[in-house]
A and B are shown apart, each in its own frame.
Chain A
Amino acid sequence: MAYEITLLTTIAISVLFALSLNFISGFCGQISLGHAAFLGTGAYTSAMMTKASIPFLVTLPAAALSAAALGFIIGLTSLRVRHDFLAITTMGAGFLFVGIIRQQDFFGGEIGIAGIPATGLGRIGFMSLCMSLAALFALFSIAVRRSWMGFVFASIADNEDVTRILGINASAYKLIAFVIGTATAGVAGALYAHHFRFIGPDSFGFVESVSVLAMVIVGGIGSVTGIIFSAAILSVMPLMFQFIDDYKLLLYSALLFFMMRFSPDGLAGLFKRAFRKYAGERP
C-alpha cells in the first residue's frame, strides 16, 4: 500500500508539473527547455519555509508567487525571441538557476536541502492533496482552452504575427501563460520537496526540463488528457526500471525527437488518427 501511495503521489506531482508546462508550450506554442527551474524555485521556497517552521499549506502560495515572479521576468525577456531562440533562452535560464543554487550555501549549495519536515497531512492526506491539485489544474486548463483566452493562445501558437495584425496584444497573452504556467510549476515544486523530503540542484536540471517537455509532446501538445497519461507513464517508468532512470536524458531526448518527427501532435494525435481510420473502415 505504501508503495502505491508513493507512486500515485509521484504521478500526481508529475501530472501537475507537465500540465503547467502545457500552458506555456502546449496552449501558447512557446517551447521552454528550462521549466524545471520553476519547479526548483517553488521547491526551494517551500522547503526553506517549512524548515523555518512555517506551516506547509502557507508555503504553497509563496512557492507559486516566487516561481511566478521568476516566470514573469523570464517571460518578459523572452517576449522578443521565438522558436529555437526561445528554447535556447529558457534553457539558459534553467542552467542559470542550477548554477546559482549550486554556488549559494544559503540554498544548501551542492549538498542541497535535506530533512525537509513532513507536511502534517499524513501520507494519504498528502497524496489526496497532490491528486486534487492536479485534477483542479486539469479542469482549469480545459476551461481556459475553451475560453476566448484559449482561442487566442491557439492563434499565437499557430501564427503570432497574424494574431498581432488582428489587434490582439499577443505579448500580454504570452506573459499570462508564462505566469500561470510557472506559478503552477512552483506549486508542483513545493509538493515535490515535501514528497521526497530532499532537494538538490540536480533535481531541477536540464534532464528534468527535457523530461517534462517529453511528457507534454508525447501526450500531444495542448491535449490535457493526453498529457495526463504521458506524464503518468513517463514519471513511473524510471521508478520501475533502473536503466530508464540511468539513461533518462538520452531516452527522453530520443523520445522527444521521434515524436516531433513522426507524430508532432503526440499520442493524442496518434489515437485520433487511428480512431478515424478504424471508424472510417467500418461499414
Chain B
Amino acid sequence: MNNVLEVIDVTVRFGGVTAVAGANFTMKKGELLGFIGPNGAGKTTLMRVITGIVKPQEGHISLDERDLSSLSINERINCGLALAQQIVQPFQDMSLLDNVALACGSTKTRNAIKSMFYTDRSEERQRAAELLHMVGLEDAANSMPSTLPLGYLKRMEVARALALDPHLLLLDEPLAGLNQNEARGLADLIQTLNNNGQTILLIEHNLREVMRICPLLYVQDNGRPIAYGPSKEVMQIAEVRSAYLGKAE
C-alpha cells in the first residue's frame, strides 16, 4: 500500500538547539499514529516541518509519494494536509462559523482573482455548521473567539482543519485545555474519523486517551526518535518509560 506520509531523516536546529534530530517514520493510508514525547521533544517543530512553516536543515517530507520540499505552506495544504495548531489562532474578528466557513471555501479561494466573483457563503456556512456540530460547538457557532474559553477554540481548530478535507490530518495537542468529558468526546470523534478512513497524526500529552484510541505510537525525546510500533509494545520499552513517563508523572 502507498505511504501517505514519509518523514525522512529530518533535522532542525534553532541556533544551538537541535529541536529535531534525524526524525524518521512513515504513515500508511488509514493509520492513526500517536506522536508523543516530553515537553520540548520537538513534536510541534516536526509538525511545522511537515506543513512548511519551519524549513529543516536536513531531510525531507513527502506526501502521497510527492516530495514537498520545494512547496510553500499553502501549496502543501492544497496537496492534502491540514493542521490544527497547538496554540490556537482563531481569526479574532470573525465568528467561529466564519472561521470554519473560510476554510470550507477552498474552491472559491484557490484562484485569487476569481474569488472576487463569488459572494454566496451559505453553502460553506452550512458545511461549517455541520463541522462545528461534529466537535460539539453548535451552540457557539455565532460567538466571537475572544468570548470563548480555550476548550472551545481548540475544537474550532480541529473543525477548521477538517474543513479542508485533508488526506492527512495533523493534530497538535487537540485535547489540551479540554475537560475530561470534552477530551473523551473529541478523542471519540478522532477515532470515528479514523474508522471512516481518515489518516491522522496526533500529537497528544493525554496518554490515557492516546492509549485508548491510537493503535500505533511514535516517540521522540530531545528531538531524537526513540520508539515506533504498536502502542502497548512501545509503552513497555524502558527508554520510553524513563523519557516520557519518568518526567510526566
Q: Is the CB of B119 within 8 A of A166?
A: no
Q: Is the CB of A158 within 8 A of B91?
A: yes
From B89, B92, B115, B160, give the contact of A147 (CB < 8 A): B115
From A143, A144, A170, give the contact of B74 (CB < 8 A): A170
The 8 A CB mask of B25-46 against A (1 = contact, 0 = none) is: 0000000000000000000000
Q: How many residues of A contact B (CB 8 A)?
A: 25
Q: Which residues of A contact B89 (CB under 8 A)?
A: 159, 161-162
**With contact pairs A158-B94, A166-B160 given, residues A151 and B116 touching in the complex (Cβ less than 8 Å):** no
The 8 A CB mask of B86-107 against A (1 = contact, 0 = none) is: 0001011110001000110110
**With contact pairs A152-B109, A154-B93, A155-B102 given, residues A164 and B119 touching in the complex (Cβ less than 8 Å):** no
Q: A-B pairs with CB below 8 Å: how many?
A: 85
Asked if A167 CB lies within 8 Å of chain B CBs, one says: yes
Q: Is the CB of B116 within 8 A of A144?
A: yes
Q: How many residues of B contact A (CB 8 A)?
A: 32
Q: Is the CB of B91 within 8 A of A151?
A: no
Asked if A172 CB lies within 8 Å of chain B CBs, one says: yes
Q: Is the CB of A152 within 8 A of B102?
A: yes
- In the complex formed, the residue of B with least CB distance to A265 is B93
Q: Is the CB of A165 within 8 A of B85?
A: yes
Question: Which applies to chain A's interface (DSSP): helix, strand, loop or mixed?
Answer: helix
Q: Is the CB of A166 within 8 A of B112?
A: no
User: Cα distance A146–B119 when bound, in Å?
Assistant: 6
From B74, B110, B118, give the contact of A164 (CB < 8 A): B74
In the assembled complex, the CB of B107 is this many whole angstroms from the nearest CB of chain A, namely 10
Q: Is the CB of A151 within 8 A of B105?
A: yes
Measuring CB to CB, which residues of chain B are less than 8 angstroms from any residue of chain A? 51, 53, 72-74, 77-78, 83, 85, 89, 91-94, 98, 102-103, 105-106, 108-110, 112-113, 115-119, 121, 160, 164
